[in-house]
Structure 1
Amino acid sequence: MSVSAPGRAETGRPASKAGARRVATLVFAAQGVSIAAVYTTVPAVTERLGLAPLLTTTLMVTVALMAGAGSFLGLAAIRVAGAVATMRGALLTAVVALTLIGVAPGQSTAVCAYVLFGIAIGALDVGINTRAAAIERAYGRSVFGSFYLAWSVGGVVSALLTAAAARLEWPVAGGLAVQAGILLVVAVCVRTHALPAATESPSPSAQPPLGRRLWIRLLPFGLVLLVVYVVDSTVSAWSAVYLRRTLDASLTVAPMAYAAYQAGTVVGRAATDRLVQRFGAGAVVRTAALLVAGALTGMAAAPSWPFAVLAAGAVGLGASVLAPLCLASAARLRPDASEAVLARLNLFNYAGVVTGGAVSGLLGSTGEFRLAYAAPAALAVLVLAAARHFAQPPHMAVQEPATPGTVQPKS
């Protein structure tokens, strides 16, 4: 099967928005599976290999740093082979990395496996978001939320698989092998579907330079994305460890906070596109910021693991809408060079992951996990300040109602 050159629809194959959307949805789900597989197995891998808390923190930070590098490798791959081929290659690399994490005989092999996973997930991230931006342009309405809904469903499934494997007393390699198998099936099923030519990015040689001013226009979305991933990494990377160490949960129960967090994002993302069309992106962002702040405070104060699990679900409900709205809004700044814009925006993503993962891990290693969840609540102020920049373009925006409670039809 040939892959279309970047920015060029395949010849001889009819455009299929629905087919492209199905493939992108599957890949988003696979990405959610892979990330959840790594985060929810941290306690088991740590105990199996006897990793010190500081080394575990270093590994999680390393994954984020390598993902940042992988993002730019993915950008280069997109320009050579296209977004679809980049997604497939990144998925296959993640399969290898997950398998290695599970069977690593010692710490050095585990470190190499986590590094490889970070590179793979960074390349996959820029590839799939570039493809999603093109698909949204083809539809002419907000569809990014549906992709991240699939991501969250994948995360829930993966977290429950980790919990089930622990319940059945499988070795960590067994659970990771099942999750790697899911990624392999998705990689095999990936197909290329041409999109209408107007929605594709032009070839790299035809793209005008992005310019320094783009960084200024990206800053509001970057700040929100940074906050989102500070919160996400704090909950995703360390919630299982928090339940295990601070709230005395078993290995079977420890992944449930991650599962609840992702379940919350499923609910939030299922409604994201409708909420944006009904109330506008700015109002949705402001409401989400306040919910995240309150839920993080509740998670920090949880007296036992059931309360922490419920609070994690509420965090996911609020945080779920922010990342897709950031990415969709940023991609619209330069539709002719969305892959380059998203690669730049991903720097904020991984800066947030590094910051959240490192600070939470360091606080946790000193027994202060509660503070690690309370501190990010204050960052909601940054999200509230940036919310006004989330304006929809005219053909996708919600217009001001003529009377209270009435929404004008789209132009």
Structure 2
Amino acid sequence: MSTRSLAARPAQALTRVVVSAAYGAQGFGYAAVMTTLPTFKTRFGMSATVVSASVLLVCATAALGSLAAGAIGKRFGSRVSLSLGLAVQAVSLLAVATSNGMGMFLALMAIYGVGLGAVDAATAMQGVLVERLRGRRVLSGFFAVYTAGAIVAALVVSGAVAQQVAVAGVVGAGLLTAVVAVAGWWFFAVDEATPQPVATAETAGAEEKSLSARRGIWLFGTAILVIFTADSAVSTWSTEYLQTTLKALPAAAPLGYAAYQAVVLVTRLTGDRLSARLGRRTLVTVASIIGIAGFLLVALVHTLPAAIIGFAVVGVGVGVVVPMTFSAAGEVDPGQSDRIVSDMNTFNYIGAVIGGGIIGPLADTGMGMAWAFLVPAVLLAAMPVLARHYGTHRAVTAAQQEKVPTPVG
């Protein structure tokens, strides 16, 4: 191993820690805001419709933030876009916690959405970059930190509510995000700048690469839409289903979602090793089939234990497929990975709106909420077909394995 590689190990480890912290801060912040919504609803006298509109507003502005992160990343690098996105998020979280009117709250939630989308896209860019520079799978581990951050935030907000200081979780999320933004400015991964080719007769073939990137955006963007439809369906409606349809006690109703998140965390902790052993294509195929089986169990067996187990099984598919999708997309064209990742990330919010919005209305048509969970199951059936595009697009060279993220100081 080269002297340069040995000397760079501490910087490489620090970069990975700070990027992991960005994923954790993102999960913590989003969960803190979503679990504190009932407090804001009471504080400002908002109806359930207005609360739902605020969530949709966040999804809409997040899509814009994701595209903005891609544009900034293309020009200045993902280190800059992620640091700026975290800064916007930190300020907006602290402002949301101290807002004193419904109009101000909604406006600040829109700004928070911009930061949310920017950080969603830029953390994925950084994850892809670190994975490429290290020459090994790491994205699933990063997403595991995100999930762990969300779980910790839910526990913090629960404790804060008990102490009648519910917004403390949002304030804590803002402060944590600010710290990570500052640390990240110095220690996020930096790729070596690649000059843009001049359009000449000799570079006429460059359009083929652009088409490949566009195809990657649509292929993997579709996969992200499918997976986040499933995620949003469980996140939004699992507790409601257990409590209203299966008549679970209020204390037992959240167990479906808790089981789902626990399995998501476990699969993400093991996803990188499984990917190295089985390959992304096989792993995505098997995981998505397991996810379909989970939804079928919920739809066909209308008992509390079956529903909890079913939602947990869905977590196998959702948990591992998301990081594998970003990992595969990052290899379509490493020179355009920031653009590909940011553009495909916008499909995330479309899926979130579909999953959150389709189950309830279908249940109201008379088919019942259990049968409505067949919709994300049908969409997941597309994943084994899409999985054939998850093979390694470009081999990792020995030179890439020697490269390490360069901290900026």
For the criterion TM > 0.5, the same-fold answer is yes
Q: Secondary structure at the match of 1:172?
A: coil
**1:297-352 superposed Cα distances (whole Å, 9 cap, x missing partner):** 44457867776555433322321111111111111111012111112212322221
Inter-partner Cα distance in structure 1 for 2:246 and 2:103? 30
**1:156-210 superposed Cα distances (whole Å, 9 cap, x missing partner):** 11122223233x15243233223333323333432534868xx545256789666
Q: Retained in 2: the 8 A contact 1:60–1:237?
A: no
Shift of 1:88: 2.3
Match of 2:150 among 150, 155, 176: 155
> TM (normalized to structure 1)?
0.80
- CA 163–315 in structure 1, closer or farther in 2 if over 3 Å, else same: farther
How many residues matched? Answer: 382
Aligned positions of 1:329-344 closer than 5 A? 329-344=328-343
- 2:387 is equivalent to residue 387 of structure 1: yes
Q: Corresponding residue for 1:20? A: 15
Report the more deviating stretch, 129-138 or 364-373: 364-373
Aligned positions of 1:129-208 closer than 5 A? 129-166=124-161, 168-193=162-187, 200=192, 202=194
Q: Corresponding residue for 1:40? A: 35
- CA 120–217 in structure 1, closer or farther in 2 if over 3 Å, else same: closer
**1:341-366 superposed Cα distances (whole Å, 9 cap, x missing partner):** 11221232222122223324655788
Which residue type is aligned with residue 77 of structure 1?
A: I
Shift of 1:127: 1.5
**1:42-96 superposed Cα distances (whole Å, 9 cap, x missing partner):** 3443344443333333222221111110011112332454322322222232233
Q: Secondary structure at the match of 1:142?
A: coil
> TM (normalized to structure 2)?
0.81
Q: Corresponding residue for 1:260? A: 259
Shift of 1:394: 6.3
**1:124-175 superposed Cα distances (whole Å, 9 cap, x missing partner):** 1222111211111111121111111111111111122223233x15243233
Q: Retained in 2: the 8 A contact 1:43–1:241?
A: no
- CA 92–270 in structure 1, closer or farther in 2 if over 3 Å, else same: same
Inter-partner Cα distance in structure 1 for 2:42 and 2:299? 25
For structure 1, the 5+ residue unaligned runs are 1-12, 398-411
Which residue type is aligned with residue 168 of structure 2?
A: G
Q: Retained in 1: the 8 A contact 2:229–2:352?
A: yes
Aligned positions of 1:2-401 closer than 5 A? 16-166=11-161, 168-193=162-187, 200=192, 202=194, 211-239=210-238, 257-299=256-298, 308-360=307-359, 362=361, 369-393=369-393, 395=395
Shift of 1:245: 5.9
Inter-partner Cα distance in structure 2 for 1:385 and 1:137? 26
Q: Retained in 2: the 8 A contact 1:142–1:396?
A: no
Identical-pair percentage: 28
For structure 2, the 5+ residue unaligned runs are 1-6, 200-205, 398-409
Q: Retained in 2: the 8 A contact 1:231–1:376?
A: yes
Q: Would you tell me which structure has more helix in proportion to its own residues?
A: 2
Which residue type is aligned with residue 327 of structure 2?
A: A
Q: Secondary structure at the match of 1:41?
A: helix
